[in-house]
Structure 1
Amino acid sequence: MDIALLLPFILLIGVMLLMTRSAKNRQRQAMEMRDQMEPGTGVRTIGGMYAEVKEVRDDTVLLEISPGVHALFAKNAIGAVLDAEEYERIISGESAFADDDSPVVPDDASSLTGDATDTGKTDGDGRVELGKSEDGDEADTRDAGDDGENGSKS
């Protein structure tokens, strides 16, 4: 038997062993993270809900979702245990970047491009004239009743 035939199988077994080992390491790290939970700790579930730990049991954890509202979750449903500062920041709604001078993103594009009335390219009823220029180079000359489909008018 030639060694060249066995080489792909040996490589495949080696890769499978490495993948299994890394999966076990991730499981061990997740278990250690979940073992850090204690009453008063802030957590994020795998569904993205933030809550405070009220009681830790063998396989479950009792979370306070909002004041006076408790829910029982499986420990496996906890995606992250948060430190106290991060949990308070998230619950209070403060931005993580509140202290820096990061740009503010507007809710709509009108503040970026300016209003149509600022450019002077509107006809009297507030519609924007579409075309290349005011010199008459292919300006939009459709009738006000034209809906733009197959030349029909409404």
Structure 2
Amino acid sequence: MSYTTIIMFVVLIGAIFLMQRSQKKQAQERQNQLNAIAKGDEVVTIGGMYAVVDEVDNDNKKIVLDVDGVFLPFELTAIKRVVTKESQTVETDQTPEEAAEIIETSKAEEKGSDSKETANTESAIEE
């Protein structure tokens, strides 16, 4: 065999090794994500349905999802991805109008600070 053939086999074996390693890493990340699912997390199933987790049974690999008041049991592997974790969602007692007012106020404050910065920059340029 020539050196070219040997080099081609070595490169091919190296590429296969790297692909398998990448797949194992992705599978491990998915398994960690599935194991970390808790009640209150928003998930997407492999069918594209958005739901909130109601119960998780890791021993039997089952999960119960709440879809607008309808509780549906699934296998844990039917979860495609976690959209939001329960700890990241912010529960408030505000009405949508109050929340919109807070957002508008914060935007107005940002614009005010931007105009102050612009004025400071313009005065520095004039000097």
Q: What TM-score bracket applies, with the shorter chain setting the length?
A: 0.5 to 0.7
Aligned to 1:83: 85
Q: Distance in 1 between matches of 2:5 and 2:36?
A: 49
Cα offset, 1:15, TM superposition = 0.4
Q: Which has the larger radius of gyration?
A: 1
Q: What residue ranges of structure 1 are gaps of 5+ in the alignment?
A: 89-98, 101-154
Q: Does 24-33 or 54-63 show the bigger shift?
A: 54-63
> Whose helix proportion is higher, 1 or 2?
2
Q: Normalization by structure 1: what TM-score? A: 0.51
Cα offset, 1:4, TM superposition = 1.5
Cα offset, 1:2, TM superposition = 2.3
The alignment covers a number of residue pairs equal to 90
Aligned to 2:116: none
Q: Distance in 1 between matches of 2:75 and 2:22?
A: 24
* RMSD (CA atoms): 2.4
Aligned to 2:64: 62
Cα offset, 1:30, TM superposition = 0.6
Q: What residue ranges of structure 2 are gaps of 5+ in the alignment?
A: 92-103, 108-127
| Corresponding residue SS for 1:47 | coil
> Whose strand proportion is higher, 1 or 2?
2
Q: Distance in 1 between matches of 2:24 and 2:75?
A: 20
